[in-house]
Amino acid sequence: GDFLQTSRSGFHLAMDISAFSLVRIAREAEPLLSVNGGGILTLTYMASQKVVPSYNVMGSAKAALEHEVRQLAYELGPKRIRVNAISAGPINTLSARGISGFMDMLHVSKEKSPLRRNIEPAEVGRAALFLLSEMGSGVTGEILFVDAGYNIMGT
């Protein structure tokens, strides 16, 4: 349905699952990670910044999640804990194909992205490996787009 028709309970549920969950995980992980430092990583989506039809309240939840990444990076940084997010482009999975209009999203992303292709799950995995390893030791509070460059386009 339309975003305007989002119920209070639906809004709270989206925020709880897609945003507050990061706060809860960070709180539980902080005592373990503060011993030697480390990283926390979450997944987001460009609907946090742009309207994606049918994504509705999840765009609001992803916007909140991205603010949490920056806030937690600030608060946990002195303990050598880095917090980042990956914003992946559409990936052709069985569950994603259940989203209304998903195949159109794949086509548009492939057509409009600078690399003229869609991304593969392994590319998201390698980006995660970078952010959580020593290779990403100087990166915190960032949203890393892994979307073949689609997010930079004005179309």
Supply the residues annotated as catalytic: 45, 55
- Strand (E) or helix (H) holding 146: strand 143-146
Question: Which amino acid type is present at position 153?
Answer: M
* Rg, C-alpha atoms of the chain: 16
